[in-house]
Structure 1
Amino acid sequence: MNRNKITIAVQATTAAMVLGLATQASAIELNPGSIDAELYGYARMNAVYDIDEDIGVSTQSGSFGKVNTGAAEDDEITGHFDADAVQSRLGVKVTTEQGVKVVVEGDFRGGSSGGDLRLRHAYGEYMGVLLGQTWSNFNSFVGNTSVLDFDALAGNAGLQGRVTQARYTTGPMSVSLEDNFTSILDPAGAAASTKNSLPTLTARFENSSGPLSLSAAALLHQVEYDIGTADDQAIGYAVFGAAKFAVTDTVSLQGAVTYSDGANSYLYRSGDNFGAADAYIDGSGDLQTISGYGGTIGVGVDVGPGSINAGYGWVTNDWDDAEDDGVAVGEQHETNSNAMVNYMWSPVKNVTMGVEYAYFMVDKQNGDDGDASRIMFAGQYNF
């Protein structure tokens, strides 16, 4: 995204002068210096035509949870149009002369159908130490294919979301302690209450050399429940690798692979729409972890004033042990996959347009499956 900086040079002698209290010796003083403030964002419209069935959510992204499967496909009402502007974004980044950076950013995807202001980023960073909310350290965009759908391809590397954390970065390495995401199924297959006693621990390496960019990460987290009369805990983990290779100045290949065991909350778009369950409670009250894996592959080709991008992503969960233990998991998503191809172009600087075809496929543990196709148009005006 191109951002035009709005730079504000603030030469401050004392806060007391600003408050009109310079004559009082107890006034708070600020060291003279400058602050660079960058205001950025964009206004964006997303419009979609769902060919088979209405699977759109806010930002008009396609939802795996709204794809009809089995007999429900016979009741589909075809041809749905919708549009919104809730992806529009506003942020501010401030950097002091001491090297302290502060970022606060939001968009309007909040609420069940969007429209409410949603906090995306709110963090400070100094000397490699970051505190606040931003992209999870178990996350990378290196292997992502450029698509218009805001929620993008299943199987993209890591969480692909923002989380409250404490992170330290030195060179290409970063480690973090993050707010823990967990999901557990009870013996009936319903969501069980979880308990978070420890933060998630992550480590990531990300670097580039010539035409090749690489990223790899791992995480450990505790999966736990405690209902007073029964409790148990387990350790879940996940790893991913992502890469992008510039074949030529105009052609790139990219992709990612992820594996998780007891950490499917971090396996992107593996569940009803996002993370699947990490574990289930068996008939003896013990926690049993659930494994999953996924990946993406894509290509980007510069053509004229824009680029053609095509990508495919998939994720698969292993529900067999849970089913053998009598847990009702027949309606759980075994495999989610989607493919997207688009053309994005910039008619003028700071303006991006695009049109995209997307195909979504869902396979459930009980053997039911379903699919849906859609066409999206987007227009984005950056500042």
Structure 2
Amino acid sequence: MAISLHFSLRRSALAAAVFLSLAGAAQADSRSEAALEARIAQLEQQLAELKTAVDAQKKASAAAPAAAPAAAGPAAPGVKAPIQVTTLTPGANPGTTVKIGGFIKTDFMLTRTDSGQLADSATGRDLYLPGQTPVGGNNSNTDYDAGAKFSRVNIGVDTVTENNDKLGAFVEFDFFGGALGNENATNTYGVTLRHAYAYWNKWLAGQTWSTFVDTAALPDAVDFVGPTDGVVFVRQPQVRYTSGNFQISLEDPQTTVMPRGGGASVSSDRGAVPDLAARYTWKGSWGHFGIAALLRDLRVDRAAAGTAPAIEDSRFGGALSVSGKWNLGEKNDIRYQLSAGSMSRYIGFGITADSVLDADNNLESIDGWAGYVAWRHIFSKQLRGNVMYARSDYDNPVAYTGTGATKSSSSFRLNLIYSPLPKLDVGVEYMLGRRELESGADGDIDRLQFMAKYSF
């Protein structure tokens, strides 16, 4: 329609021009009139050819999407080649999308403890583990550590079917597995599975964050976790159902047991009852607030060995947690969490055990509370900072745990993170932590940590 109108206007204008020309040349001789008529015929022919070319181009453009893809090879001059000829997932459902992400992160740390040294191979040399803070020893020197093992890579696959069913999968790895080399030459570490799950509409099955965890409330830290003393931090296999803001899941059960009299805890993987976790979250422009509950069957079942008798007992345990993020304008927010109950395995990578054996080899649960609060301030588009405090306290039955059990753990952190370019972070963080035993003995740890991180 637009092309027809265009040619109509052009012909009208041409006719007007011809009329004026004829009027002005009324007295011209017959040779001039013949030349003018020839020019008019030439212009009409050019307009007809132009219309034919435009129609042909429209037909070619409409047919192009239906054409078969050309064989891979050099693109014609001026033609942009496609990124790829075939899909990344040829065996997947039609319309499947693939996302690849992760980051490269390198940490540089200076660590000082005042009551003994962290062992050379201790995990606490790579990240803050409250349960490994030395207590009751001698002063130590400052140790330097560096590593890129917390870098990670993930792949997500998502599909929406013709019936509007949503399904997909997600898998993520980092490199925090056991050392496969040494720091003398290779600094090689094993790949560690973080997440591996599939979902279908409201259902999820696989390994990911426990429903008892609120990842949206985690502070912006340079350390791997941040407020480790008071945070719920567990990833494990589960089956989860989500409906709106409500989630409920059946998760892998484990019970950590401290020997009678104290000492390192061991894990008991017994029983037929999974951990039950549920969460409800309120969300808005103000931030979010969530409440979560956890029900557990603490259980031990060991066969007799030599003079050691068989041990079999179970005990019910439960915990509650509230957490959230409160936005204070565009440049400030408060993040927090407070948890209490029988949840020791879920706090700070297991600062203490879930239970201890009493005089009759029955389980006594070790309850406690844990929490943190963090303030983030955005100075500019490139610079932000965080202040955080975390703490956990445990109600140890000292008659069975002894006085060497951890009574409390706390830490304070201050950091600045600078982003000179999008997805590129350079940060520095200072941390002061303390662990106290039931005996009253305590130990401090100081750490100055630097990081460089590129996300993709």
- Alignment TM-score, normalising by the size of structure 1: 0.85
Kindly state the Cα deviation for residue 129 of structure 1 after the two structures are TM-superposed.
0.3
CA distance in 2 between partners of 1:94 and 1:9 (Å): 16
Any idea what SS the aligned residue of 2:217 has? coil
Q: Is residue 124 of structure 2 the alignment partner of residue 61 of structure 1? A: no
Letter of the 1:61 counterpart: L
CA distance in 2 between partners of 1:9 and 1:337 (Å): 54
The equivalent position to 1:36 in structure 2, one of 74, 93, 97, is: 97
The equivalent position to 2:316 in structure 1, one of 211, 222, 235, is: 235
Any idea what SS the aligned residue of 2:174 has? strand
Any idea what SS the aligned residue of 1:372 has? strand
Higher strand fraction (1 or 2)? 1
- Percent identical residues: 24
Kindly state the Cα deviation for residue 276 of structure 1 after the two structures are TM-superposed.
2.1
Contact 1:338 1:358 in 2 (8 A): yes
Kindly state the Cα deviation for residue 205 of structure 1 after the two structures are TM-superposed.
0.9
Tell me what 2:428 maps to. Answer: 355
Q: Deviations over 1:330-380 (max 9, x none)?
A: 222110111111001210012111000001100011111010111100011
Cα distance change on mapping 1:193 and 1:347 into 2, 3 Å: closer
The equivalent position to 2:451 in structure 1, one of 365, 373, 378, is: 378
Tell me what 1:306 maps to. Answer: 383
Contact 1:10 1:34 in 2 (8 A): no
The equivalent position to 1:126 in structure 2, one of 190, 200, 203, is: 200
Kindly state the Cα deviation for residue 264 of structure 1 after the two structures are TM-superposed.
1.5
Deviates further, 107-116 or 87-96: 107-116
Kindly state the Cα deviation for residue 142 of structure 1 after the two structures are TM-superposed.
3.5
CA distance in 2 between partners of 1:11 and 1:328 (Å): 56
Q: Deviations over 1:299-323 (max 9, x none)?
A: 000012121100000001111xx22
Letter of the 2:345 counterpart: S
Letter of the 1:87 counterpart: F
Cα distance change on mapping 1:193 and 1:130 into 2, 3 Å: closer
Tell me what 2:293 maps to. Answer: 218
Cα distance change on mapping 1:284 and 1:59 into 2, 3 Å: closer
5 Å-filtered alignment, 1:135-214, equals 135-158=209-232, 160-190=233-263, 191=265, 194=268, 195-214=270-289
Contact 2:113 2:443 in 1 (8 A): no
Kindly state the Cα deviation for residue 90 of structure 1 after the two structures are TM-superposed.
0.6
Tell me what 2:160 maps to. Answer: 97
CA distance in 2 between partners of 1:50 and 1:186 (Å): 31
CA RMSD of aligned residues (A): 2.4
Tell me what 1:85 maps to. Answer: 148
Cα distance change on mapping 1:134 and 1:241 into 2, 3 Å: same
Contact 1:43 1:85 in 2 (8 A): yes
5 Å-filtered alignment, 1:281-296, equals 281-296=357-372
- Alignment TM-score, normalising by the size of structure 2: 0.72
Tell me what 2:329 maps to. Answer: 248
Letter of the 2:208 counterpart: T
CA distance in 1 between partners of 2:418 and 2:437 (Å): 37
CA distance in 1 between partners of 2:105 and 2:216 (Å): 24
Kindly state the Cα deviation for residue 68 of structure 1 after the two structures are TM-superposed.
2.4
Letter of the 1:64 counterpart: P
| Gaps in structure 1 of 5+ consecutive residues | 1-5, 16-29
The equivalent position to 2:178 in structure 1, one of 96, 111, 117, is: 111
Letter of the 1:307 counterpart: R
Kindly state the Cα deviation for residue 178 of structure 1 after the two structures are TM-superposed.
0.4
Kindly state the Cα deviation for residue 52 of structure 1 after the two structures are TM-superposed.
4.0
Contact 2:255 2:300 in 1 (8 A): no
Any idea what SS the aligned residue of 2:215 has? coil
Deviates further, 42-51 or 83-92: 42-51
CA distance in 2 between partners of 1:361 and 1:226 (Å): 35
Kindly state the Cα deviation for residue 81 of structure 1 after the two structures are TM-superposed.
1.1
Tell me what 1:259 maps to. Answer: 340
Cα distance change on mapping 1:8 and 1:115 into 2, 3 Å: farther
Contact 1:123 1:131 in 2 (8 A): yes
Aligned length: 349
Kindly state the Cα deviation for residue 236 of structure 1 after the two structures are TM-superposed.
0.8
CA distance in 2 between partners of 1:208 and 1:136 (Å): 20
Cα distance change on mapping 1:231 and 1:382 into 2, 3 Å: same
CA distance in 2 between partners of 1:181 and 1:7 (Å): 46
Higher relative contact order (CA 8 A, sep 6+): 1
Deviates further, 233-242 or 61-70: 61-70
Higher helix fraction (1 or 2)? 2
